[in-house]
A and B are shown apart, each in its own frame.
Chain A
Amino acid sequence: MERLQRIFQHIPITSEFWVGVWDSVPLTIGVVPFGITCGIMALTAGLTAGEALLMSTCVFAGASQFVAITMLGAGVSGWSLIVFTTLLINIRHLLMGASLAPYIMRLPISVQALLSFGMVDETYAITIDRIHKKGYSANYQLGANTAFYSVWILSTAVGVLLSGYITDPLAWGLDFAMPAIFLAMLIPRLINSTAVVVCGVAALVAIMGALYLPGKWYIILACLSATVVGGLLEGEEQHAN
């Protein structure tokens, strides 16, 4: 408890924290069907309610949880196989973490660890959107993380409780919320030709990767190609100047 207080000394719970929470709450609707599905799938695969909730609380990474649960349900229970698969699916976080690193560099390590723990696709997107609009705020990021983390655990619990009553929450259409939110964040970034080219390259590589590569490798590959193209274009611009 004392340790926790020490961590929060560095991030006073200010109004920025609550702005982060309130900005995020409406957007969490996109993860609810996934959390519910996670709970349902876990029970179907033979996990207990406690195990399902522990997984959502400790891992907090939807796609890799789905895969791990599917593997356990199919009778695969090798520790190294499941853990290594989780690593492969989540390796895209390296790029997100690297792009946020300059902003959180000066914070104490405990705060950096806390902020990193809560960095998922959605909270990363909300944080960079805030940077793009108003600049970085650790409190704001913590608020967004807290909102998504709470909703992830709660919706897993709902899935565990309602397992057997609902069949497929992903068929409701709410899974479209996330791409829609990401679109609304992407478009304001396309303000110059470099950004448009970067986006175009990422789109092409993502499509090809999604068609021909396993798992989530298309995200890493698309992002890397976009980064290289963007970096090269900027280099040329500087030459021209």
Chain B
Amino acid sequence: MRTEIFLIIMGMATVTFLTRFTPVAIFRKTGVPLWFERWMKHVPTGILTALIIPALLLPKGHLDISIENHYLLAGMVAVMATYLFRNIIVSMSLGLAVMVSLRWLGV
């Protein structure tokens, strides 16, 4: 193991841990103020949306709203599956099945 690479990895590990732990460290002594908790209420919806939408609409970095976009098609199947079955694993499996078949059939 090269020292230079080892130090880079340790540096990366430290800053990554800090991004995950800092909010907890800030509030550990004082507790989370109520106003802050109220504002944080919508973070889950915001994060989930921000992780999903670009993955479906811009899979290659540019906006692609067409039937050529396999991610969009498979995403619509996953949405329908969620409304019908309300089960994460079912949505994932059906979405993946569509995705993989579109890929391998070369549609």
Q: A residues engaging B (CB < 8 A)?
A: 26-27, 29-30, 47-48, 50-51, 54-55, 58-61, 64-65, 68, 72, 77, 79, 82-84, 86-87, 90-102, 104-105, 109, 112-113, 116-117, 119, 121, 124-125, 128-129, 132, 171-174, 176-190, 194-195, 198-199, 202-203, 205-207, 210-211, 218-219, 222-227, 229-231, 234
Contact = CB atoms under 8 A, between A and B. Distances in A.
Contacts of B7: 79
Nearest to A122: B51
B71 A176 contact: yes
29 contacts: A47-B5, A55-B12, A61-B12, A82-B8, A82-B11, A83-B14, A83-B15, A86-B12, A93-B20, A95-B47, A96-B43, A99-B44, A100-B24, A105-B32, A116-B24, A178-B55, A179-B52, A179-B56, A180-B78, A180-B92, A184-B88, A187-B79, A190-B45, A195-B45, A203-B53, A207-B54, A219-B47, A223-B47, A230-B39
A60 B32 contact: no
A222 B89 contact: no
Contacts of A223: 43, 46-47, 50
A218 B50 contact: yes
Interface of B: 1-2, 4-24, 27-28, 31-32, 36-58, 61-63, 70-71, 74-75, 78-79, 81-83, 86-89, 91-92, 95-96, 99-100, 102-104
Contact of B24 (A112, A181, A189): A112
A176 B91 CA distance: 11
Contacts of B45: 186, 189-190, 195, 198-199, 202, 226, 230
The secondary structure that dominates the B interface is helix
Nearest to A67: B12
Given A109-B28, A183-B82, A184-B78, A121 B51 contact: yes
B75 A183 contact: yes
Contacts of B44: 99, 125, 128, 132, 189
Contact of A112 (B2, B12, B21, B63): B21
Interface centre among B27, B38, B47, B83 (most CB of A within 10 A): B47
Contact of B63 (A59, A93, A187, A207): A207
Given A98-B40, A183-B52, A184-B82, A27 B20 contact: no
A207 B53 contact: yes
Contacts of B102: 173
Given A203-B53, A226-B42, A231-B38, A186 B48 contact: yes
Interface centre among B8, B13, B91, B102 (most CB of A within 10 A): B8
Nearest to B86: A188
